[in-house]
Amino acid sequence: MSGVTRTEYCVIACAEAWRGAGEILASPMGLIPSLGARLARWTFSPDLLLTDGEAMLVGLDGTPEGWLPYRRHLALVTGGRRHVMMGASQLDRHGNQNISCVGDWERPRRQLLGVRGAPVNTVNHATSYWVPKHSRRVFVEKVDMVCGVGYDRVAEHPAAARFHRIARVVSDLGVFDFATPDRSMRLASLHPGVTVEQVGEATGFGLAVPDEVPYTREPTEAELRLIREVIDPENTRAREVRG
Amino acid sequence: MSDKTMTADEAVSRLASGMTLGIGGWGSRRKPMALVRALLRSEITDLTVVAYGGPDIGMLAAAGRIRKLVAAFVTLDSVPLEPHFRAARERGAFELMEVDEAMFMWGLRAAANRLPFLPVRAGIGSDVMRVNPALRTVTSPYDDGETFAAMPALRLDAAFVHVNRADRLGNGQYLGPDPYFDDLFCEAADTAYVSCERLVDTAELTKDAPPQTLLVGRHVVTGVIEAPNGAHFTSCAPDYGRDEAFQKRYATTPWPQFAARYLSGDEGAYQSAVREGS
C-alpha cells in the first residue's frame, strides 16, 4: 500500500487524539474524526466506548453494549469519562471555539448552530477540534462567541480549569496543540506536502512554531489497510478533505 | 378516572398569548408537530418557547409567534442549520436566552423539583454568561468553595410532547431508543399536553413493552391527543423515521409558499397534502 492521501493523514491525526485514553467515550463530530475514533479503537485504544450516533453504545461491528440517551450522555460528560472532537466555526490562539453565530450575538450576521454542549464539554473533559478547511475565517484573532472555553478564559476559573484540557486541533494542514508556556496554539506537526508558510498564511493569528516542525506520522501498513478496506471502504473520506 | 383525551385544537385553545411553552423532542426528532401545527392555526403569539430546537422553532419563528426563545441550539439534524430560525435570528425577530445543553436540562430539573435554580459547572468561562447578563453564579457552601452558574428553573405554563403510545388517562409511552427530556418538560409545566401515535388501553401499554418505557405519568398530564403521524416530518422511532425528502422541501421552500401548501387547512388536510407529495 502506498500513496497516503492528505485525508488519511487527517484520519491518523484524529485517531491519535484518543491514544491511551482508556475506557472513555470517544465522541467524534464529523466524518474524519469518526473514522479516526474507529481506527483508534481497532488499534491502539481498544477500550474506547463508541456510539451509533443515536442512543446506543456499540462495538466495532455495531453490537449494542450499552444505553446512552442524551440525559445519560450529559451525566457522562460531567463525570469526565469522555473525549469529544468537535467542529469549530471559529477558533482562537487560546482554544476558544465558536459554533453559535458570526458577528454580534445580539443580531448575528450569520446564525449558526448555537452553543450546543460546548460549554459543558470544555469544563468537564478532554476536547479536541477538527477543522476540515484551515483558513483565516476559522483561525481568528478573537472568536465572536465563546462556546468552547479556551485556556485563557478557563484560567480565570481555577476550579473549572481542573477538568479542562484541549488535547489537539487537527486541520487539513496539520496538527496543533497548546504545549507552550502561555498555553497558546502551537504547530505540532505538518501533514506531508504542507509548509509552515502555508499554515501561517491560512491562520489569522501568530501561531507558535517550533524550530523543527515534524511531519504528521505515517500510517502503518495495517492501519492503512483498516482505513481503506474495513473502516471506510466506500472512500467517503475523500469528500471531506481534498488531496 | 378522568378521560383526558381531546383534540389538538382543544389543547391549543387552553393556551394564551404571552405564555411560556416547553416543546419536547430534540432537534428534528419526536417533535409534537401536530400540536405545533394546531398552534400555528391559532392566533396565539408572543410566546416564550423553551426547546431543544428543531423545526418546531423554525416554524413558530417563521410565523412570528415567538417573543423569546430559550435554547442551546436549533437544528434539523440531517440539515444542520434550521433556515427559518437562522433568518429570524439574523433579522432580530425575537429575544434569545442561549444556554448550554446541560444548563437547559438542569433548568428543567430545577423546575420539576420546585427549586429556583440548580448549580452547574457548565457555562463558566464561556460567553453564555456574557449574553445572559441576568444569569447569576453561586458559590459552594462547602470547603471547595467552587463557583458555579446558577441555572434558573425553566418553569413552563404549558408543555407539548409527542410519544408513541398513551392511554386516555395521560400515561405516555416511548418505544424508541431515547426518552429525550419529555418527562421533564411535563413535570416542569403547569399543564402538559401529550400527543401520541396511537391511543391504547392501559393494559396494552405493558403487554409487549417493559414498564420503563412508561415515560410520562398521568399525574403531570392535562390532555391526551391521538395524532397519528403527529411527529411528521421529524422522526418517531420505531413507528417511522424522519421524512428526509419532506424535510428538505420544508428547508428549501419559501415559508409563505410552504405554509400555504401545507398549513392552510387542518391536520387532516396536512396529512393528505403530505401523502399527495409535491
Residue of A123, A128, A126 whose CA lies nearest to A160: A123
Contact partners, residue A150, CB within 8 Å, separation at least 6: A92, A94, A95, A96, A97, A166
Distances (CA, A) of B160 to A25, A77, B30, B31, B64: 32, 27, 11, 9, 19
Of B101, B131, B147, the CB nearest to A116: B101
Interface contact B81-A111, CB threshold 8 A: yes
Could you give the CA distance from residue A165 to residue A128 in angstroms, rounded to a whole number? 8
d(CA B233, CA B2): 32
Strands A56-58 and A64-67: antiparallel
* CB-CB neighbors (< 8 A) of B24 in chain A: none
Q: Does the beta-carbon distance from B147 to A111 stay under 8 Å?
A: no
**pLDDT for position A243:** 66
Measured in residues, chain A has a length of: 243
Q: From the list B98, B147, B181, which residue is nearest A100 (CB)?
A: B98
pLDDT tens-place string over residues A76-105 = 999 999 999 999 999 999 999 999 999 999
Q: Determine the residue among B73, B75, B126 to mutate to test chain A binding: the one whose Cβ has the most chain A Cβ atoms within 10 Å.
A: B126
**Separation CA B21–CA B68 (nearest Å):** 10
Greatest extent of chain B over all pairs of C-alpha atoms, in Å? 65
Quick: pLDDT tens for B39-75: 999 999 999 999 999 999 999 999 999 999 999 999 9
| Residue A33 exposure: Cα atoms within 13 Å on the Cβ side | 25
Q: Give me chain A's average pLDDT, please.
A: 97
Q: What is the structure's pLDDT at B278? A: 59
A163 CB neighbours in chain B (<8 A) are: 121
pLDDT score for B1: 72
- Closest listed residue to residue B114, CA positions, set B151, B154, B70: B154
Q: With beta carbons less than 8 A apart as the criterion, state whether B24 and B32 touch.
A: yes
- Omega cis (within 30) before B233: yes
Taking only the tens place, the pLDDT of each residue in B116-130 is: 999 999 999 999 999
Q: Return the half-sphere exposure (C-beta side, CA atoms, 13 A cut-off) of residue A28.
A: 27
Q: Which residue on chain A is closest to B93 by alpha carbon?
A: A107
The Cα B211–Cα B18 span in angstroms is: 37
- Count of CB atoms situated within 10 Å of the CB of B277: 8
Contacts of B244 (CB under 8 A, 6+ apart): B78
Return the residue in B100, B142, B180 with the most chain A beta carbons within 10 A, the one to mutate for interface testing. B100
- Beta-carbon contacts of B52 under 8 Å, excluding residues fewer than 6 positions away, are B25, B26, B27, B71, B72, B73, B101, B104, B180, B181
- Separation CA B110–CA A39 (nearest Å): 41
| pTM, rounded to two decimals | 0.97
Residue B89 and residue A165: Cα distance in Å, rounded?
A: 32
Collect all residues of chain A within an 8 Å Cβ-Cβ radius of residue B72: 114-117
- Nearest chain B residue to A151 by CA distance is B125
Q: Is A167 a residue whose pLDDT tops 70?
A: yes
B81: closest CA of chain A, how far (Å): 6
Given a cut of 80, is residue A221 above it in pLDDT?
Answer: yes
Distance CA B53, CA B213 (A): 23
Please judge whether B92 and A100 are an interchain contact, meaning their C-beta atoms are less than 8 angstroms apart. Answer: no
**Distance set, CA A143 to CA A90, A103, A105, A164, B151 (Å):** 6, 9, 11, 19, 24
Contact A103, A144 (CB under 8 A): yes
Each residue's pLDDT expressed in tens, for chain B with a length of 278 residues? 799 999 999 999 999 999 999 999 999 999 999 999 999 999 999 999 999 999 999 999 999 999 999 999 999 999 999 999 999 999 999 999 999 999 999 999 999 999 999 999 999 999 999 999 999 999 999 999 999 999 999 999 999 999 999 999 999 999 999 999 999 999 999 999 999 999 999 999 999 999 999 999 999 999 999 999 999 999 999 999 999 999 999 999 999 999 999 999 999 999 999 999 75
Residues B225 and B4 sit within 8 Å (Cβ to Cβ) = no
**What is the least distance, in Å, from the CA of A35 to any CA of chain B?**
19
Per residue, the 3-state secondary structure of chain B, as one string, reads CCCCECCHHHHHHCCCCCCEEEECCECCECCCHHHHHHHHHCCCCCEEEEECECHHHHHHHHCCCEEEEEECCECCCCCCCCHHHHHHHHCCCCEEEECCHHHHHHHHHHHHCCCCEEEECCCCCCCHHHHCCCCEEEECCCCCCCEEEEEECCCEEEEEEEEEEECCCCCEECCCCCCCCHHHHHHCEEEEEEEEEEECCHHHHCCCCCHHHEEECHHHCCEEEECCCCCCCCEECCCECCCHHHHHHHHHCCHHHHHHHHCCCCHHHHHHHHHHCC
Q: Which residues pair with B29 in a beta bridge?
A: B26, B235
Q: Using CB atoms, which residue from B99, B121, B130 is nearest to A123? A: B121
Strands B66-71 and B172-173: unpaired
Tell me if residue A165 falls in helix, strand or coil. Answer: strand
pLDDT of residue B61: 98
Confidence check: pLDDT of A2 > 90: no
Predicted local distance difference test score (pLDDT) of residue B277: 79
State whether ipTM is beyond 0.85: yes
Nearest to B72 among A114, A122, A154 (CB): A114
Interface of B with A (CB under 8 A): 26, 53, 71-75, 80-81, 85-86, 89-90, 92, 98-103, 105, 120-128, 130-131, 144-147, 177-181
| Mean pLDDT calculated for residue range A24-52 | 97
Work out the end-to-end distance of chain B between its first and last CA atoms, rounded to an integer number of angstroms: 45
Q: Which three cell numbers stand for residue A58?
A: 456499540
Among B96, B28, B85, CA closest to B60: B85
Those residues with Cβ within 8 angstroms of residue A34's Cβ, 6 or more apart along the chain or in another chain: A28
Q: State yes or no: pLDDT of A1 exceeds 60.
A: no
